[in-house]
Each structure stands twice: as C-alpha cells, then as structure tokens.
Amino acid sequence: GQQVMQIPQYQHVQEGEDFTTYCNSSTTLSNIQWYKQRPGGHPVFLIQLVKSGEVKKQKRLTFQFGEAKKNSSLHITATQTTDVGTYFCAGPVTGGGNKLTFGTGTQLKVEL
C-alpha cells in the first residue's frame, strides 16, 4: 500500500539553528499538506502544495513540493521555542477517494 515516510524521526536543535524535515511518498501525490501538532494538542493545518516544484513561504517556514510530486520538505529558518512540536505531511491515498495518508512525522525539540 501507499507509504509516506518522513525523516528524521526526531530532531533536537539549539534555538536559532535551522531545521528541515523531508517527506517521501511511495506513489505520486496530487497534492500534499503539512500539519503541526504541539505536545498534547491536535494537528493543525499549515499549508497545501499542489503544483510540481512549488515553493511556498510562511514567515520562517519554507515548503517545497518535488518535481516528481513524490517528495516534499519543510524548512524552518532560525528556530524558536514556539516551533516545538511534531510536523506531519499528508497526501491523498492513491485511488482512495477522500482519504489522506499521514507521514510518520518529525518531532522537533528546540533548546535554549
């Protein structure tokens, strides 16, 4: 079945360092969404990418969708303690109608 893997699984950084998480799908995705889940909270939608090679920015966050639409990345510049949480990518299940498959997630910890 379709698999969506994320690396790394965990990342500890010092405040001010950059952070990147990578999302890789076993199948081509029509679109990809990114979510952030704070500790003890629920996933919150960040952004959606649709076009091959698309790049979107939200302040210190940069999202990319690969040319082959099978991978994506989220880069955070100069991390802050408020960036702490788990970041998930999610994509539509191939032939699965309105189901989203979530990636395995990357847990980010930021130390002062």
Alpha-carbon gap, residue 47 to 44, rounded angstroms:
10
Q: Does 98 bind another protein (CB under 8 A)?
A: yes
**In the bound complex, what is the minimum distance in angstroms from residue 10's beta carbon to another protein?**
9
Measured in degrees and rounded to the nearest 5, phi and psi for residue 111 equal -105, 145
Report d(CA 40, CA 32) in Å as an integer: 24
Q: Give the shortest CB-2-to-another protein separation in angstroms.
A: 10
Q: Which of 25, 92, 108, 110 binds another protein (CB under 8 A)?
A: 92
85 near another protein (CB under 8 A): no
Residues of this chain, 22-41, that bind another protein according to CB under 8 A: 31, 33, 35, 41
Residue 88 makes contact with another protein by CB under 8 A? yes
Segments of 10-81 assigned E as strands: 10-14, 19-25, 32-37, 44-49, 55-58, 61-65, 71-76
